[in-house]
Every structure is written in C-alpha cells, then in structure tokens.
Structure 1
C-alpha cells in the first residue's frame, strides 16, 4: 500500500506541474533546468542529425538523463520510476522477451490493481511496445525510467539466459560448436586418412613425400595465380560518393575488451576523435564479468553519455564472438560496427560508412575497411607485418571482392546492416576467426561485402612468440571455417555458386596448405647441395629445373604484389624491406602446426593477444592520413 501511494503521489505531482503535450524543450526551460539558448541548440541538432530531442540533450550533455526524464514525465503526465526506489516486480518477467524489452527500451514494471505499469525510456514509441505484450493486457499505464535502469534490470534477470543464447544462436549446421565431438563418420574419416598416410610412410616413403611435394607445388601455383588476378582487379578502390545522407543512421560500435588494462584509456581518446553526431552514436565497451583488471582501468574514467559498459556473464567459452552476440542485444543502431581495443580509426570513418550504406542496394550487408599499423618501425617483425597487412587489405581483399568472390572479413573496422547480421544469426561463438566465417555465411545467405577505403590503425604484434600465438589462432580459425562450410559441398555449391565456391577453396585451402606444406618446398634448397628429392623420379630430366624456376617466379610475384601494396600505403619507406618477407613467412609454418595441434586438442581455445606493448612510432602515428588506396 505504501508503495502504491508513493507512485500515485508522484503521478499527481507530475500532472499538476505541467499539462500534457508541452514540448520537451519548453518544459526544461520552464522548470529552470535548461537555458533557452541551449534548448534552441539542441532542437537544431535534432533536426540536423535526425535524432530524438531527448536523446540529443543527453548525448551532447546539454541536460542530464535525470533532468530529461523528469521533463518527459511532466510532458506525458506519466509516473517516473527508479529501479532502487521502486524495484520492478520479477513475476512480470515473462510478459516480454528480454530481447524485445531491449529493442524497444521497455520493461513490465509492476501491477497496480488490474493495470500493468509498463516502463519505457522512449515514450514516443510506447504505443508500439504495448502491442507486443504476451498476455494481451488491456489496461496498460505508461511510466518512465532511465534506459540504464531498464538495461540493468534485464541483465540482472536474464543475463545468464541471454549469454547461453549468444553461444548457440548460429544454427547448428552452420556452427563449429560440435567439432570437439567425435562422430562415427568423423572417426572413420580421420582414422582412414591417418592409416593411409602411415602405410605410405612405411611401405613407400618416396611416394608419400612426392605426393606432399606435388600438393605443395600445386598450392603454390594456385596461390600465385590468385595473387596476380587480385592485383589486376584491385587497381583502384572507388569511394562511390562517401557523403552521408541527410538523415544520419544510428551506428552502434561494439568494442570487446578482455584484459586490456594497458590500452583502455588510449582507446577512449581515439574513439572521441570520431566525427559523428553523438546522438546517433552508441559505443558499447564489452567486458567479461571476470575481467577485473579492465574494469578497474575504466573505473576512474568518466565515460561520455554515448559510451557505456556491457558486462558479459561467465560461460563455458570466453570468446570475442560470444561477447559480440550478447552485446548486440543491448545496442541501438541500425548499423553495427566492430573495433578492437588497440584501434585508432580515421575521424571521418563513420560518415563515410553511413554514406555508402545509404546509397548501396539492400544486398550490400557489410563494409570492410582497411587495417594498418601505427608502429611499423618498431622492429623487423612489425615492418614485415605492416607489409603483409598492406598486401591483404590493399591488394588481395579488394581484388578478390572485385572478382566476385566471397571474402573473409577482418575482425575490426567492419560494419553491418543490423537486419542482415541478425538474419544470419550473428557470429559463431565457438569459432576463433568469427570474422572469416561470418563473411562466408553472409555470402551463403545472398549478401554482398564491399571494401571501403576507410582506414583504422592498430598495434602491430611485434614480439616473436605472441606473433606465432596470434597467427596460430587465425590459421586454426581458417581450418575450422573450411571444415564447417565443407560439411556439405553440394549445399555450399548450391548457395554460393561455382565461382564463389572456387574462390572459397582458393582463399582458405591455399592459406592453410601453403603453411602446412612449406617444409616440403624448403627441402628443394638441398637440391643446390646435390640432393635429389623423391619426386625427381616422377619428373622428366628437365623437371627439377622447371620447378626451381617456378619457385623463383613465385617469389617474384610475391615481391611484385608486396611492392604494389606498399606503394598504395603511406609506408613507402618500407619498400626496401619487402624482399625480407621470405624470412618472415616461415614463421607462419610454425604457427600452422601449432594450430593443427590445437584443432585436435582444444579447438575453441582463444589464444589471447595482449595489446599495449608497443607505442605508436611517433606522436600522431595513430591518426590515419591516407592517400587513395
């Protein structure tokens, strides 16, 4: 009775203070919470960016969330609720699914007699939310609550349940989550392959190693053909009128952080450089519930209203895609972008993304930006890593996309239409290269990925063992992704078509086999010392010479592509280092064998890369200043 009396008293005071229907700005001015000049500025910004006036006031820090909520209560003649003063009734949790509550910023709060009090943070959309009630409640009263309170209550009630769904939301036949289960068919295939290899090694080792060398040579040839074709197709990466539309879309940026205490504060400063209306920007810093170190690093930082922290409940897997799936439920944007902890995006990046999505056909579901490094001069490893990234993001990916192939995505500076992302089930929570897998799944569902010349700089992993660990995770993910999509080759061919299926094999199999079979190619160096490889017995007299010249040709192609890539980047000073890549890529073979072992022993293990170990080369090195790729 006391609780109901308190609520009704609040309602009476609200209605006596101001009649319904008054403009929100006028209410704030009348109550002395806002100077008239600020109200005019907020109204102008609302018209300029297309956001609700209430959201503009909070995002631009013109008025506090509490002041805006109080004014909305007066405007709508509604009661105002506080999670601590008037705790929601947990028995009403089943009236609306938590995802529905998050999407519409509502929460069934309490019953007063036969009236359901439905709290909302967006009173302008209240009518649409009432139609979704599961019990068809006829008497519904609107109340107002902070969105932060609604989100906190939903996370408290349903967080564990939503985290479980985040792990399983990709359909089972498109996910890798059963790879650690040995089915009879898998056991038969694995056993048969291992037995065949063992028998060949014992009975005819020359044939075994000759087959290995033949596979390595074939893979090398296919890889070089793909490089040349991509180079020819990627001569320019047009920006297709990057100017943003008049009504800017809301963009949510998901930023997973796990043990990132060394770089969290730098990240916040870099995100603040983004040139996009704050009322249309929604940045979610995603923390694991057990990550006390990053939480403590952020505790002393005042976050702007357009940034918030989402904590992911603990679960059987702790992966980036699981965290992304969970946080996506709390996001508001119709466009969803991903950044990593060490990222430094260009200031105009989001406006260019909005511009391209605004003009692209609906089938374009994803835009992939260019990744670069702000510490390329740290050491030899960072220089080679920078050249490799330039090759991938400035030559190969644009070229492969131009050729019409389905491309694997990068894990950051990638933007999605939210509707398409939700249709394909989001990210596979068990795949350690969730980005590469998602790029293929989007293509299988009929969507298109485009490359956009927007640049983000990040930290090059320039320590030997951490580099191998990171690369092993990427290669393990490629292996997993290939296995998942090849479960039914006929279905893959039907959904992708023969051209994209060919591209899938070229991209993934060459990446995997080139590293696994690299030792077979290295053995040819011994030919210079007079050694005859077993395959020589199967070749004509001039066969070895042809192979050796072919290897030199492959190195020449790699050198040409590397030079072209660096020339298209801001790092032309790295051109003298391109020839040293022949010493760099053997590290990938070590990573590949580590990846193969983990694929058998712990396929879902996420080998975490620690950031914040190498500072930018100089002040301002983390601010992209690009020439056209």
Structure 2
C-alpha cells in the first residue's frame, strides 16, 4: 500500500499489467477447461449391490416449499430399503417443523431437529445430521431442489467404479416454471451456473483437479466426509471449503451427468445477499487453505487460485474496469479524439470477455438454454453487480464473519423431471 504513496505511477502501471496478465491467463484457463470438458464420461457399470444412501436436506424458514421438496425427493428412483433421508430442521423454526409434520412423507424420509446452539448455519445442521447417517454415501439437497430421479443410481455406480473417488458433484440447472427465464438477473444467473456446472467443473474433473463444490447435490463417501471432520460450521460456503479439504486428504472429485433443477434467487434484494455470502465464504476458504498451501500440492493450489482467487479478484475489478472503459470512451468522444487508454488494454479485456461469453454459450447449450445476443451484451452489467456484492462481502466478513445470509425460496408450480440417466435392471418398488 505504501508503494502507491512513494511510487504512485509505477505502482499503478504494475497493478494494471498484473491485472492484464491475470485476464489473459483466466481466458486461457477457461478455454482449456472447455476443451477438457468435451471428453465424454464413460457409462458406469451397475454395482453388484446398491449401497445404503443417506439424503440430507437442511431447512430453515422454508415452510412454503416443504411439500414441494418432499414431492421431489419422493420421485427419486433408488431401492427403498437402501435409502434413508432426513429433513434437518432448527428447533426454533416452528413453521417449517409444522409444515414438515403435516406433509405426507415416504417411510424412509424422517424429520431430524437440530438442538439450539451456535453458529446457526447450514453446515452445523448437516454435522448434527451426519451423526445419525447410516449410509455408505450421503448427498445434500436444498429446499428448492428437484433432483433427477436417477441421480443416486448414477452416483452409486460411479463410486463403485473408483474407490479413490471421494465426492461427485451433480450439475445444477436453473429454471423457472410457468413464464420461464425472462428477467435480467434470472437469465444471467442461469448462464453463470451453466458455465460453471456444464463446462468448468467437468473440465476440472477431466484434468483431475480439485474444485469448490456446489452447496447442493454433492454426493459424498461418508467415510471420507467423517475423516475430513464433516463440514466447517463457521464457513458460510462450507461446500467450497470441503472440496479442497477432501483433495488434501487424498480423495479425487468427479461430476455426474444427472442434473438437479433449481430456481433462480429472484430480484436484487435476494440475489445480493446470496452472492455476498458466496464471496464472503470464498474469502474465508481462501484464508483457511492458504495458511498451509503445501497441503493442497501444486495442482490443488493452481485450482484454488483459478477458482476462488479469480472469483474474488474479478468481482472486485468488474465494475471499476467497466467504469474506466466508459469514462475513457466518453472523454474521448467529448474531446473528438481517440481514447487515451492503450489499445492493448482493450484487447486484453476483449479476450477475457469473449472467453466468458463462450463459456456461457457452451454451458447454456448443454443445459438446454437459449443464449442470445442480448444476453451477451447484458453480461457486463451483471458482472458489475458482482463488485457491489464484493464490497458487501468485505464488510460482512469484518462485522459478521459467521452469520448466514439466508436466501428466500418461493414454491414453484409443478414441473416434470425427465431422467437423464437410466441404469439397467434391479429396479425395486418403493
């Protein structure tokens, strides 16, 4: 920081060059992941026996969507005698508890109440439920999730094929029933998810790299999860942290083909707290894992830098960069001359922007979304909102580091789930 006061101009130029280099590296990184993701996964063999599976769904202030979640979980196609599930509820959340008790549930799905305590976070509730889990594998679902009915069968088959596989992440696909994705935030959020879950994570899995898990639909080997100490109850993105902790313990991470459908958060008043929590958790996870970088190894550190590190830095830079470009163009136009900003800088930004557009376009195609020219042109505005979330995240990290900013979910109209993967034989009735 002192360098700005002693050598302001050279320090600023060095910072600009460093950011430019980062943009170029990030563009090549996304291109490499896109190419790696083209390699199709082999079809897993059906295991000789279906292992016991535990489903955990931690709910808080979700009374409106409890019946919808139970209905979606009831559609899961897995041998019922090998299946157990828990709706994990907070003791003080009477509305959600009453809604869960009133809704018809399959025999394998039970209610588990978390005793009062702190911190009041999703990972703390999951850790409490983990002590009751008897499954060889465990998976996490959120209140608004509609998992593909064949997802557990695919996961069990892939785990059976690879004993060193500690976790599998299912792709999360965004949809809104009825009117579809028509709002600015809804569409940009869906494309962001498509680039992440349809391109980046499959590419990283193909390259045998660790990655931050999604907050839902990650399937875990229970023995590996317990050996890693469960979830970090104080990290508000416990999923991102867990992916790297499993890697440090010697486990590999993979991805599934069977998706889980989710709804977008909605308006800015819901999107902003969610994104603030994610960025705050990324900062927490970055701080934890950079204390002992050797534990991750070179591949793990590369992944940490190019996922969480890049997400934090880019969120901080998006809005200032856009403001700089806009001001340079306006000053140039007003003066009737070319902008003073170097063309090389614009070229670097163009390369990064095109790489981001291509990732969204490829991911959208795989997720069955229509990615339009208007979506591409609107993307910089969405990216700039990340800078607002970054400022909020820094402030929240200082004043309330372990407070969980809850995302509100609304009940959706019925949408039919179409299975993506089917494994032959062995179907058992409920």
Corresponding residue number in structure 1 for 2:417: 623
Partner of 2:24: 221
For residues 117-516 of structure 1, what are the structure 2 equivalents within 5 Å? 197=1, 199=2, 205-207=8-10, 209-238=12-41, 240-360=42-162, 362-375=163-176, 377-488=181-292, 492-493=293-294, 495-516=295-316
Partners of 1:570 and 1:626 within 8 A in 2: no
Question: What is the rounded CA distance, in whole Å, between the counterparts of 1:542 and 1:301 in structure 2?
Answer: 65
How far apart are residue 209 of structure 1 and its match?
A: 4.4
Instruction: Evaluate the alpha carbon distance shift between residue 209 and residue 519 of structure 1 in structure 2; reply closer, same or farther with a 3 A threshold.
Output: farther
Larger Rg computed on CA atoms: 1
| Cα deviation code 1:416-451 (max 9, x no counterpart) | 111111111110010000000000000001100011
Partners of 1:302 and 1:554 lie apart in 2 by 50
| 1:141-181 C-alpha deviation (Å, 9 max, x unpaired) | xxxxxxxxxxxxxxxxxxxxxxxxxxxxxxxxxxxxxxxxx
Once the two structures are superposed, the pairs formed by residues 512-527 of structure 1 within 5 Å of their partners are 512-522=312-322, 523-527=324-328
Q: Which residue of 2 aligns with 1:612?
A: 410
**What SS does the aligned partner of 1:246 have?**
coil
TM-score by length of 1: 0.62
**Contact kept? 2:24, 2:351, Cα under 8 Å:** no
Deviation at 1:203, TM superposition (A): 5.6
The CA deviation at 1:252 is 0.2
Residue 552 in 1 paired to residue 350 in 2? yes
Structure 2 Cα separation of the partners of residues 468 and 279 of structure 1: 42
Q: Check conservation: 1:237, 1:398, Cα contact below 8 A.
A: no
1:477 is displaced (CA, Å) by 0.6
After superposition, give the CA deviation of every residue in 1:32-51 in whole Å (9 maximum; x if it has no partner).
xxxxxxxxxxxxxxxxxxxx
Q: Please tell me whether the aligned partners of residues 338 and 413 of structure 1 are also in contact (alpha carbons under 8 angstroms).
A: yes
Q: Does the aligned pair in 1 maintain the 2:208–2:253 contact within 8 Å? A: no
- Judged with a 3 Å threshold, the aligned counterparts in structure 2 of structure 1 residues 611 and 200 are, in CA distance, closer, same or farther, namely same
Deviation string for 1:368-397 (max 9, x for gaps)?
A: 110012215142211111111110001011
Contact 1:212 1:520 in 2 (8 A): no
> 1:572 deviation in Å?
3.1
Stretch moving more, 422-431 or 560-569: 560-569
Give the Cα separation in 1 of the matches to 2:39 and 2:266: 30
How much does 1:565 deviate?
Answer: 1.3
SS of 2:49's equivalent? coil
What is the CA–CA distance in structure 1 between the aligned matches of 2:66 and 2:299, rounded to whole Å?
43
Query: Contact conserved, 1:569 with 1:627, CA < 8 A, in 2?
Result: no
SS of the residue 1:550 aligns to = helix
Shift of 1:236: 3.5
1:289 touches 1:313 (CA, 8 Å); kept in 2?
A: yes
Residue 210 of structure 1: how far off its partner (Å): 3.9
Do 2:89 and 2:114's aligned partners in 1 also have CA atoms closer than 8 Å?
A: yes
Long gaps (5+) in structure 2: 333-338, 423-430
Indicate if the aligned counterparts of 1:224 and 1:558 stay in contact, CA closer than 8 A: yes
- Tell me, yes or no, if the aligned pair for 1:237 and 1:453 is still in contact at 8 Å: no
Shift of 1:215: 4.0
The correspondence for 1:561, drawn from 339, 354, 359, is: 359
| Other structure's SS at 1:221 match | helix
Query: Kindly tell me: are residues 307 and 461 of structure 1, through their superposed partners in 2, closer, same or farther at Cα, counting changes over 3 Å?
Result: same
Say which SS state the counterpart of residue 454 (structure 1) adopts.
coil
Work out the CA distance in 2 between the residues paired with 1:605 and 1:209.
35
CA offsets, 1:165-200, max 9 Å, x none?
A: xxxxxxxxxxxxxxxxxxxxxxxxxxxxxxxx3x45
**1:481-529 Cα shifts (integer Å, max 9, x gaps):** 01001113xxx22x33223222221212111011112344221332223
Residue 374 (structure 2) pairs with residue 572 (structure 1): no
280 and 378 in structure 1: CA distance in 2 versus 1, 3 angstrom threshold: farther
Relative to the length of structure 2, the TM-score reads 0.90
How many aligned positions are there? 413
* Helix, strand or coil at the partner of 1:442: helix
Q: 1:281 to 1:626 in 2, by over 3 A?
A: closer
